[in-house]
Amino acid sequence: MQPTGFIITFVCVAASMVIFRSANLKTGADLLQGMLGLHGIGLSQLKNISVGRMKIAFWIAVPAFIALVCPNTLQILSRYEPALGWNPSPHDGATLRNRILWGPSLAWAAAVSIITVVGILYLGGQSEFLYWQF
Please state, as a whole number, how many other Cβ atoms lie within 10 Å of the Cβ of residue 101: 13
Going by the DSSP 8-state scheme, the letter that residue 69 receives in this structure is: T
Angle CA 91–95–99, to nearest 5: 120
The confidence score (pLDDT) of residue 2 equals: 81
The confidence score (pLDDT) of residue 110 equals: 92
Q: How far apart are CA 65 and CA 114, in angstroms?
A: 20
The confidence score (pLDDT) of residue 48 equals: 60
- Distances from the Cα of 105 to the Cαs of 7, 63, 74, 112, in angstroms? 37, 26, 18, 11
Q: Sign of dihedral through CA atoms 43, 49, 54, 55?
A: negative
Query: In tens digits, what is the pLDDT along the chain, a chain of 134 residues?
Result: 588 888 899 899 999 999 988 888 999 999 999 888 787 766 555 556 666 678 888 888 998 888 888 777 777 777 776 566 666 565 554 555 556 666 778 988 898 899 899 888 888 766 666 666 55
Percent helix / strand / coil, the chain, rounded to 5:
60, 0, 40
Specify whether the CB–CB gap between 97 and 71 falls below 8 A.
yes
Specify whether the CB–CB gap between 101 and 76 falls below 8 A.
yes
The confidence score (pLDDT) of residue 13 equals: 92
The confidence score (pLDDT) of residue 113 equals: 94
The confidence score (pLDDT) of residue 67 equals: 84
